[in-house]
Amino acid sequence: MKTLAVTCGDAAGIGPELVLRALAKPPSEWGARLAVHGNAALLRRVASATLLPQPEGIIEVAPGEAWPENGHVIITAQAEDAEFADVIPGQVQAVCGRHARTWICNAVRDTLAGRAQGLVTAPVNKQAMRLAGVDFPGHTELLAHLADTPDVRMMFWSERLRVVLETIHEPLAGVPSKLDRAHLLQTIRFAARAAGPRVGVLALNPHAGEGGLFGREEQDIIAPAIADACAEGLRVEGPLVPDTAFCSAPYDVYVAMYHDQGLIPFKMVAFHEGVNVTLGLPFVRTSPDHGTAFDLAWQGRALATSFFAALRLAARRGRLPVSRCGA
């Protein structure tokens, strides 16, 4: 059976609760056993607060120790238990950012070593990570650094809609200057390989630029990249007028020019079951498409549907080469 490395995310958020709910189900539920990078004392504390069942029958091992052959496992450093006794749910804390980074680093190490066949990450808080000295805008960029694969893309996946982002955590004012023909061509390749074959590429400007009246990005960058992709034999159409592109949804996957352009329609149709997939890594990585939800932390109210979907998708994709698009 496959093994999925799982991180607990920010200890003060809903990540530990999501992990507890996943551990309560047998490996057959996910198509993989879970190797959780976190802290067992923290999970027990969250279980008590949420009235969820305490994790039972799950082997606890220290970082670097051998894992059992079967069943879920928690990789936990008991020497750190005292630090989690002082964590306050729903608050930004540097200690949570520091441990979230450690869990991610350890999970990536184990996945790259082949001990796990995929990685599923619970949400982290960017402010807590920054307080801990982690100088990356988000999960995606940190994972790319750790895996030494800087050319990555963010895809949001659901049964009803798939969207790949051309730019990720970029301020809206900076998006036009970040658009690049070669980079967009590679994004289209990623999209076609991961979710194609029919790819719809959104325009940047209203009315797809209206022949240059509202901007020239469509003429100078987006349309040429689409032509390059078509010349390679890919089934690509665009630039699509953004405000109508999703109405008929005839495409297997869309390429959006910036974060909210793609995420607003996606979350309208898949808010509770959407999955964030990182394309370009040498392993499969998924996560829920939501944040730490501090307002719900440790209350037993967090919906686990997106996290569960991320687990199932990671197990299903296994080691399929979703990251290896043509250069």
Q: Tell whether the model's pLDDT for residue 322 goes beyond 70.
A: no
- Do 37 and 106 touch, CB atoms closer than 8 A? yes
Strand partners of residue 6:
36, 120
What pLDDT does residue 327 have?
30
CA-based end-to-end distance of the chain: 33
DSSP structure string for 274-294: -EEEEESSSS-EEEESS---G
Beta strands in 38-134 (DSSP E): 59-61, 73-75, 119-121
65-85: average pLDDT: 93
pLDDT in tens, 169-218: 899 999 999 999 999 999 999 999 999 899 999 999 999 878 888 899 99
HSE-up of residue 18 (Cα within 13 Å, Cβ side): 33
Cα distance between residue 259 and residue 194, in whole Å:
19
pLDDT > 90 in the chain, percent: 86
Cα distance between residue 84 and residue 99, in whole Å:
10
Q: Tell whether the model's pLDDT for residue 68 goes beyond 50.
A: yes
CATH T-level topology, domain 1-153+274-327: Isopropylmalate Dehydrogenase (3.40.718)
Q: Tell whether the model's pLDDT for residue 323 goes beyond 70.
A: no
What pLDDT does residue 105 have?
96
> Global pTM?
0.92
What pLDDT does residue 318 have?
56
Where are the domains positioned within the chain? 1-153+274-327, 160-272
253: closest CA among 140, 326, 166? 166
Amino acid in the structure at residue 24? A
pLDDT in tens, 120-177: 999 999 999 999 999 888 888 999 999 999 899 999 999 999 999 999 889 999 999 9
In 10 A of CB 151, how many CB atoms?
Answer: 15
Show the tokens assigned to 40: 């067992």
What pLDDT does residue 321 have?
39
Q: Tell whether the model's pLDDT for residue 45 goes beyond 60.
A: yes
DSSP structure string for 32-55: EEEEEES-HHHHHHHHHHHTPPPP
- Do 277 and 285 touch, CB atoms closer than 8 A? yes
6-26: average pLDDT: 97
Q: Tell whether the model's pLDDT for residue 304 goes beyond 60.
A: yes
pLDDT in tens, 231-290: 999 999 999 999 999 987 789 999 999 999 999 999 999 989 999 999 999 999 999 999
